Amino acid sequence: VVDIRKLYGQTGLFTFDPGFTSTASCESALTYIDGDEGVLLHRGYPIGQLAEHSSFMEVCYLLLNGELPGADELTKFSTTISRHTMLHEQLNSFYSGFRRDAHPMAIMCGVVGALSAFYHDSTDISDPNHRKISSHRLIAKMPTIAAAAYKYSVGQPFMYPDNTLSYTGNFLRMTFGVPAEEYEVIPAVEKAMDRIFILHADHEQNASTSTVRLAGSSGANPFACIAAGIACLWGPAHGGANEAALNMLKEIGTPDKIPHYIERAKDKNDPFRLMGFGHRVYKNYDPRATVMQKTVREVFDALKVTDPLFETALRLEEIALSDPYFVEKKLFPNVDFYSGIILSAIGFPTTMFTVLFALARTVGWVAQWNEMISDPGQKIGRPRQLYTGPTQRDYVPIEQR
Ligand code: ACO
């Protein structure tokens, strides 16, 4: 008779939940999702209302502090963030160590991970003031780090932050401006970009946020934790899906090719999936995708451009949502399905898409990290396993094997 608990090296109550599909890893007051109804709330406010009426700075304040800011509080918070936008000059030299064709997410992992080497005056995680400063530093410096990753890839000089501009306007200027010329921020583009940041700000215990919490649970410094989150976000099943979705739309090309790709997505022997479709939690339309689809049109109007891939995407959505496979499995467009079309129209190369996601998600990561560290009952994250290897056996000398 085998004691199964001993076999698995485990006694007591034990759950086995691969992918954590039905395990809550923590309590959190930040973000609520009702996946069946397609509802997403930050601190109780619906994402649609925040995207329509709010600003990214306001949402950052909300996520970090629990309430929407008053006018003075918002000004003070935005000013504080703008005072941290500059990078230590020596950090800039990190970039030249990378190949020009390095993926900007690889650069982000490296540069953000290195921040603790420059800002160790804010890494005492037991000190709430250190936690606050490091959170502000991360939110403020991500646009500068991201823009520099882009500038490096195109061989242009880095742009220093212009703190007279908004958070998002400054980011656009650092990315697309050049030192010798005036850069005019187009208000509609600034608004669209800001909205994209809002849509990506937080999403409860997704893979990268769980990674940040797990890394932080050991007491690692916040910069290291966010670098871990960036690494996790990079995967095509998570943040990398926006890049993969646009590449897929390009591969499909014209609407007449859609049925072929729908059939491929349904074929279990074919690894192809519709990128930007499906979600672990949403079994309904992702509310962020609704806003994103609307924003595509606004950006096209503002820039007086169009993109035939938008027609392909709309048609793909229409065909998929009338196909029993997608209906039965409740596979709907997610936030990544339309975002690439907007970012591409604004001028970002596909490799920057996940970087923008990381930039926006930083506030969610630091808010979740702060919530975890402030919890007096916080423990190191340490999942168990079901051991499936050999039972105990004796070492065999090499000449007898
Ligand atoms: N295309 C085709 N079939 C799909 C797709 C898709 N995009 N997504 C899920 N399915 C099918 C699966 O094959 C599976 O079928 P089965 O039950 O017959 O085996 C079923 O739907 C359930 O899929 P799972 O992978 O088990 O669901 P899970 O919750 O683990 O995965 C995920 C969710 C990773 C998002 C998945 O839907 C996917 O890979 N989508 C494409 C990538 C993507 O868009 N990722 C972005 C997610 S949002 C974000 O991170 C911001």
Say if CB 88 and CB 125 are below 8 A apart: no
Task: With a cut of 60, say whether residue 1 has pLDDT above it.
Answer: no
pLDDT digits (tens, 9 = 90+) for 63-112: 999 999 999 999 999 999 999 999 999 999 999 999 999 999 999 999 99
Q: Within a 10 A sphere around the Cβ of 281, how many other Cβ atoms?
A: 18
Q: How far is the CA of 321 from the centre of ligand 1 (A)?
A: 15
pLDDT tens by residue, 154-179: 999 999 999 999 999 999 999 999 98
DSSP state, 276?
T
Q: Give the 3-state secondary structure of residue 314.
A: helix
Query: How far, in Å, CA of 27 to CA of 158, rounded?
Result: 41
pLDDT score for 4: 61
Q: Which of 197, 198, 225 is nearest to 372 (CA)?
A: 225
Which are the catalytic amino acids? 279, 336
Relative to beta strand 39-42, strand 31-34 is antiparallel
Q: Would you say 78 and 57 are in contact if contact means Cβ atoms under 8 Å apart?
A: yes
Q: Are 14 and 162 in contact (CB under 8 A)?
A: no
Question: What does pTM read for this prediction?
Answer: 0.93
Q: Measuring from atom 29 of ligand 1, which residue has the nearest CA?
A: 280
- The pLDDT tens digits of the residues spanning 314-353 come to 999 999 999 999 999 999 999 999 999 999 999 999 999 9
- What is the ipTM score, two decimals? 0.96
pLDDT at 10 exceeding the cut of 70: no
So what's the pLDDT on residue 8?
Answer: 64
Distance 283 CA to ligand 1 centre (A): 11
Q: Which pLDDT score is estimated for 257?
A: 97
Q: How many C-beta neighbours within 10 Å does residue 202 have?
A: 26
CA 146/CA 151 separation, integer angstroms: 9
On whether the CB atoms of residues 229 and 385 are closer than 8 A, the answer is: no
Structure confidence at residue 9 (pLDDT):
65
How does pLDDT run across 211-270, given as a tens digit for each residue? 999 999 999 999 999 999 999 999 988 988 898 999 999 999 999 999 999 999 999 999
- Of 329, 330, 343, 357, which is best to mutate to test ligand 1, by the most ligand atoms within 8 angstroms of its C-beta? 329
Write out residues with Cβ below 6 Å of ligand 1: 19, 237-239, 241, 265, 273-280, 329, 331, 334-336
